[in-house]
Structure 1
C-alpha cells in the first residue's frame, strides 16, 4: 500500500467511524478528500497532489529516533494521523509554479500527542532539504516554550550519525552548512520575536499561552518577501477565551465548517477535541482529543491518572479539560445557535413575499460594527420568513475585511451588504433601502423595532415618516424570550430563510451570556465577530412572535391547558 493509499484509507475510516474522531476532525478529512478529488478529476483545478513529496517527508522522518517515552531510541514511524497532516501541508501544489497550496496551518491537539516531535521534523525538513536559504523560527511566548521544540530538533539531529559535520549550532541557532539555512528559537521574553527576520517557516508552539498576537504578526510581516512561506500553529486549548489563540480557533472552526460561508483554502485546519455533550471521563472517547496518546496502553494510563485527579480535586478539572480533552473552558456553553441547524431551514421553494405584513429590526452603529436591518415576515401555521441586510462605511470596509477575515466583498457583490460613503455609516442609506423594499414587495411595515443605542435621531426621523417605532432594550429581560423562541423555531424548522451568507456568518459568531436563572441575552463583547445582522433579526422577532397571523392556536391551547 502506498503512503497516499494509507492516507486515503485513514480518511475513509474516519468518516465511516472505524477511527473515532470528533466533528471538526471529520470536517478536515472531508476537506482533504474533496481537494484530492478535485486534483485528480477536475482538469481546471489549479493544484495537484505530489505523491513523491509525501514519500520524501516520510523517508526524512524515518531517519530520526524517538527521544522520549516508551519508544525512546526506536526509529520514528509516522502514524496514519501524522501522514495525513503531512499530506495536507506539503503535497497539494500549484500547477503554475509547484509552490505549496497551503500557507497557514492550525493544529489543535491535547498534550502528549507528539506535537514537538512533528514540529521538529517539519523544521529540519524545510531547512535541510531546500535549495534556498531558509529561515525557520520557533516562537513561544516564554523562552522555555520555544526551547522545547528547538531541543527536540537538536536531539533528533544528534542521533543521526550521517548528519555529523553538516550543521553547526550556537546561541539557540542551528545552521545547515551546505544551504546556509537556519533554525532559530525566538521568544518575547528575550525580546526576540521577529524584528529583522525573513521567515520561510514560522512555528508558534502552544499559541494559547500568547497574551497578544504580536509575535505572529511580526513573523507574518517578515514573510512578505518569501515566495512560498508557511506559518504553523500547534497548540492545545486554553482557559483565556479572549486570547488571540481562541480567536484563531474560532476563525479556523468556521473555515472547516461546510455550513459557514467563511472560506480560506490556503489554510489547513485540524482540530481534535471532545464534541459537545461528550463525557470527558468516557475512555472510549479520549481518542477524539488524543489521536496518538489514546492508541497505546501507556498513553491511556497517563490520561487515566489525570482523569482520576480531576474527579478527586475540583481545581484539577479545568487543567484536565483543556490539556487532556482539548476543550476551551466554557466555550461550548455560550454559542447561541448551530449553523448546521440554521442551514436546515433553508427554503427549497420560492417564497412569495409580495403584499406581506413585515416587522423590521434595526441594530445601528456609526463606526465599529455593521449597521443591520432585520426582516421578519409572519407566515402561516406559526412559521416566519427571515432575512437581513447590512451597511458598512466605505472607509472602514478594508479594515473589516482584514480584522474579521470574512468575505465582505463577496457579500457586496451578492447584494447582502451596502457600502456607505465616508468614515461613519450614513443612516439615510438604511431608510432608502427600507423604502426600496416596500416599493418592490408592496409591504405593510407593522413595526420597526430598534436598539436605542445611537438611534434616537434616526428613530425620530422614521417616526416623522409614519413608521411605528418600538424600542427594544438589549437586556436579559427583553431578549431571553425571543432568543429562546427563535432558537426553538429553528430547531423545529419553523424559521425559513434564503441562505443569506452574511446572516449565517453572524449567527455562527453569536454568543449568549446568562444570569443565575439561566435567562440569556446576546453578548457583543463575548461574541467572536460581528453579530449585528442576527441582533437586528431578534429585535424584529421580539415583536413579530406575538403577531396574530403567526400564532398556532392548536399549539397555544394545548400548552395553556385549555378545556372545552
Structure 2
C-alpha cells in the first residue's frame, strides 16, 4: 500500500480507487467494498494457472482517453464540455476494459452488472460506451499496442423495455457523436440510424417490439433500467448472440425497482450479491458493482446517501445540485406521507428494492411465509393420517393445473401443501414464457410433467389416491372451481368422495383469502417449502370490491405469472375454515350474485 501522496499518484486510478474504498478512505456500502476487494485480490493472482488474466493499464487508459478526449456532455451544467471521468467511473470502466486474457488479449469480462441511484450519469456513460463500441473497441495482445484488431460491421444494441427508453441512450449517443469531430469523422450519424463510415454495422435502439432481435452478432449490448423489464427475454435473446464476435460485452445498468419478488433484475441482483459475498462460485467473466444503502442504514441520514450516489463525492456544481434535489424529494415524500413518493425516493435516490405495490396479496410478508416452511419429510410426518380438504384449480389443461390440501392441526394451526401438473410437451415453452424451472421442480417432486400436450384429469385423481394410500390422508371434501371441472367432480363423486362446488365470486372467496393471510401474519400456518407454491403466492394480486371483499387474480388475464397452486389452496380453505356445525349446515357453496 502506498505510504505517501507521491506514491498514490503513481498508482493507476482503478487500483487507487479500490484501495481507498477497501481502507475506508471513501464512504461505501458492503457490495462496493466486496467488488473493490475482488479487484485487489485479482491483482495479486494475475497471470497464474488458475487465473489467466492480467490488468493492462494501457487498455484501461484507452477507455479513459476515449471519454475525456472525444465525448462531450449533452445536457446539464456541463453540456458541450468534454467529459471528465469521476474516480468511481475510472474504477468501473478501468476494471471492465483493463482486464484481459494473458495470451489472447481479449477482454476478460463478458457481462457487467452496475447498479447506482438516479442522477449518477448512467445514461451519459452508456452513450459514450455505445459510441466506443462503434469506433474504438479492439483486441490487441498485451504489451503490443502496434497491433489492433477491430470488428468488421460492429453491432451495438441499446436495449430497454420500450422504444422510448431504448431511444434515450441511443439519442444521447447521437447527440454526443454530433458534438465531437473525432467521432463524426468515423461515423455516419443520421436522424434514424448510426453506422461506421468504413466498417458499416449499426448502433440501434432495441426493445421488445423490435423485429429480428435475435438475428445479430452484437459487439456491445447495453441493457438500460433493467428493473423495468417484466422478463429476461431481451437479455436472453441478446446474450444468445454472443460467441460470434471476438469479445462481446453486455452492460446491464439500472436503479432498484418496485417488484422485488418477480423482477428478473432483482433475481440478477440477488445472484450477484451472493457471488460477491462468496455464497456461490465466482464467475470470473462477470463484473459486478452495486452501490446502495446498507441494511440498517437510516435513509434519513444524509451522510449515507453517498453510498448509492458516488457522484456526491465530487466537488462541483452538478454534485451540489443533485444533493439538493435528493434532499428536496426526501422532504416532500416524508413530510406529506405519500407512500408512492416514499417508494419512488427509496428506489431511485438510495437504490433500495421495494416490494410490488400493485395490490400484491402478500406484499411485505413473503419473507414471513418462507420462514414458516419446514422440510418436506418433516411436513409429511406432521400430517400423516390426518383429515384434509382438497382444493382443485384445473384451468386450461394445456397450462399449469393444481391440487391443494389443507389440514387442521391440533394446536390451532393449519398445514398446507399443493402439487402442480403440466403437459410435458409444453413445459419447455412455459419455462421460457414463465421464467421458472418447471423441469427442475418436477425432478424435485414439486410438480408432475404429464405425457402429451394436455394434462388428463386422471393424473390428478391418481395423485389424490396416492396420498391417501402412502400418507394415510383422509380427504373430507374435494373443493373445486366449477369452470372446467364438472366432469372431474362427477367422476370423484361416483367413487364416493364428497365434492363441493366453490363459486369464484368475492362473497365466497373473500373470507378464506383474508384468513389465509392472517394465518401467515399470526404464524399459524405451516407448509413444506414448495418453491412452486411460493412462486404462485408471490404472483397473486388481490382485487377489492366496493364492499371490501377480496379475491385473488393475476396482474393480467394472459400473464405468465401463475397463481394456480394458491388458488387451489384457497378453494380448500373455503371449507376448511368452517366449524363442524357450519359444514353440516352448508354442504354446498351456492352461486354468488356478485361479480367483478
**CA-CA distance at 1:87 after TM superposition:** 5.7
Q: 1: CA distance between counterparts of 2:325 and 2:16? A: 32
Structure 1 residue 346 and structure 2 residue 373: aligned? yes
Counterpart of 1:449 in structure 2 is: 479
CA–CA separation in structure 1 for the residues paired with 2:321 and 2:87: 17
Please point out which of 95, 120, 126 is paired with 1:119. Answer: 126
Counterparts of 1:187 and 1:445, CA distance in 2:
53
> Could you tell me how far apart the structure 1 residues matched to 2:460 and 2:288 are?
38
Relative distance call for 1:210 and 1:510 in structure 2 (3 A) is: closer
Seen in structure 2, the aligned counterparts of structure 1 residues 76 and 528 have a Cα distance that, compared at 3 Å, is farther
Shift of 1:64: 2.1
Contact 1:378 1:384 in 2 (8 A): yes
**How far apart are 1:339 and its partner, in Å?**
3.2
Residue aligning to 2:584: none
Of 175, 186, 196, 2:196 maps to: 175
The answer to whether the aligner puts 1:185 opposite 2:204 as a matched pair is yes
Q: 1:219 to 1:479 in 2, by over 3 A?
A: same
Q: Distance in 2 between matches of 1:149 and 1:420?
A: 51
Alignment of 1:377-456 (within 5 A): 377-456=407-486
Specify the alignment match of 1:360 in structure 2. 390
In structure 2, the CA distance between the partners of 1:545 and 1:279, relative to structure 1 (3 Å rule), is farther
In the alignment, is residue 61 of structure 1 matched against residue 55 of structure 2? no
Q: CA deviation at 1:390?
A: 0.7
Q: Assess, with a 3 A threshold, how the Cα gap between structure 1 residues 542 and 307 changes in structure 2: closer, same or farther.
A: same
Q: 2:553 aligns with which of 523, 542, 549?
A: 523
- Structure 1 residues 38-53: aligned runs within 5 Å: 52=55
Cα gap change, 1:193 to 1:369, in 2 (>3 Å): closer
Runs of 5+ in structure 2 lacking a partner? 2-11, 44-48, 139-148, 275-279, 581-596
In structure 1, what is the equivalent of residue 567 of structure 2?
A: 535
Indicate conservation of the 8 Å contact 1:62/1:76, yes or no: no
How far did 1:385 drift?
A: 2.3
Does 1:299 pair with 2:299?
A: no
Whether 2:367 is the aligned partner of 1:335: answer no
1:392 and 1:96 map into 2 onto residues whose CA distance is 47
Question: Which runs of structure 2 are paired with 1:90-101 in the superposition (5 Å)?
Answer: none
Q: Aligned-pair distance for 1:378?
A: 2.1
Equivalent residue of 2:496, what SS? coil
What are the within-5 Å matches in structure 2 for residues 118-197 of structure 1? 118-127=125-134, 128-130=136-138, 131-133=149-151, 134-138=154-158, 141-142=163-164, 145=168, 147-151=170-174, 153-154=176-177, 158=181, 167-171=186-190, 172-175=193-196, 180=199, 182=201, 184-186=203-205, 197=216
- For 1:344 and 1:282, the matched residues in 2 are separated by 31
After superposition, the Cα gap between the structure-2 partners of 1:381 and 1:218, relative to the gap in structure 1 and judged at 3 Å, is: closer
Distance 1:324 1:449, change over 3 A: same
**Do the aligned partners of 1:116 and 1:148 also contact (CA within 8 Å) in 2?**
no
Q: Report Cα offsets for 1:90-143 as digits up to 9, x if no partner.
A: 97999999886755x776766433122221343355452323514213357259
Matched residue SS, 1:362:
strand
Q: SS where residue 392 of structure 2 aligns?
A: strand
Aligned to 2:576: 544
Distance 2:522 2:416 in 1: 15
SS at match of 1:422: coil
In 1, distance between residues paired with 2:252 and 2:222? 6
Count of paired positions: 519
Contact kept in structure 2, 1:146 and 1:185, CA below 8 Å: no
Q: Residue 511 of structure 2 aligns with which residue?
A: 481
How big is each residue's C-alpha offset from its partner over 1:225-278, in whole Å with a ceiling of 9 and x where there is no partner? 45764454556799xx9xxxx8997233244447xx9x9989989898999xx9
Number of the residue aligned with 1:500:
530
How far residue 80 of structure 1 moved from its aligned partner, in angstroms, is 3.9
Contact conserved, 2:393 with 2:401, CA < 8 A, in 1? Answer: yes
In structure 1, C-alpha distance between the alignment counterparts of 2:434 and 2:304, rounded to whole Å: 34
Deviation of 1:60 (Å): 1.7
- In the alignment, the residues of structure 1 paired with residue 510 and residue 23 of structure 2 have an alpha-carbon distance, to the nearest angstrom, of 43
| 1:334–1:512 contact (8 Å) kept in structure 2 | yes
Distance 1:213 1:304, change over 3 A: same
TM-score with structure 1 length normalisation? 0.70
Name the structure 1 match of 2:265: 252
Instruction: Give deviations 1:198-225, integer Å, cap 9, x for gaps.
Output: 3232335467999999988986676684
Please list the CA deviations of residues 45-85 of structure 1 after superposition, one character each: whole Å capped at 9, or x if unmatched.
x9969572799447623652462545664653345488469
CA contact (8 A) 1:146 1:187 kept: no
SS in 2 for 1:410: helix
Match of 2:84 in 1: 76
Q: Is the contact made by 2:399 and 2:423 (CA closer than 8 Å) also made in structure 1? A: no
Normalising by the residue count of structure 2, what TM-score does the alignment of the two structures yield? 0.67
C-alpha spacing 1:401/1:236, structure 2 compared with 1 (3 Å): same
- Alpha-carbon distance between aligned partners in 2 of 1:38 and 1:471, rounded to the nearest angstrom: 64
- State the shift of 1:185 in Å: 3.1
Cα separation, 1, equivalents of 2:342 and 2:101: 41
> Match of 1:343, SS?
helix
Query: Please, what is the CA RMSD of the aligned residues?
Result: 5.5
Q: Which residue of 2 aligns with 1:376?
A: 406
Listed one character per residue, the Cα deviations across residues 469-528 of structure 1 (whole Å, up to 9, x for unaligned) are 222233332333223322232233322223222122222222222234544321124466
Q: Cα–Cα, structure 1 residues 194 and 403, in superposed 2: closer, same or farther, change >3 Å?
A: closer
SS in 2 for 1:332: coil
Q: Write the distance in 1 (CA, Å) between the matches of 2:413 and 2:573.
A: 12
The verdict on how the C-alpha distance between 1:476 and 1:529 changes in structure 2, with shifts beyond 3 A counting, is same
Determine if contact 1:359/1:544 at 8 Å carries over to the other structure. yes
User: Structure 1 unaligned runs (5+)?
Assistant: 21-25, 41-45, 549-564
CA distance in 1: counterparts of 2:23 and 2:400, whole angstroms: 42
Question: What is residue 466 of structure 1 aligned with on the other side?
Answer: 496
| Structure 2 Cα separation of the partners of residues 10 and 167 of structure 1 | 38
Greater shift, 197-206 or 424-433, is seen at 197-206
Return the alpha-carbon distance in structure 2 between the equivalents of residues 207 and 108 of structure 1. Answer: 10
Q: Is the 8 A contact 1:369 1:532 kept in 2?
A: no
Change (3 A) 1:35 1:445: farther
Are the equivalent residues in 1 in contact too, given 2:423–2:449 (CA < 8 A)?
yes
3-state SS of 1:415 partner: coil
- Distance, in Å, in 1 between the alignment partners of 2:102 and 2:549 is 51
SS at match of 1:381: coil
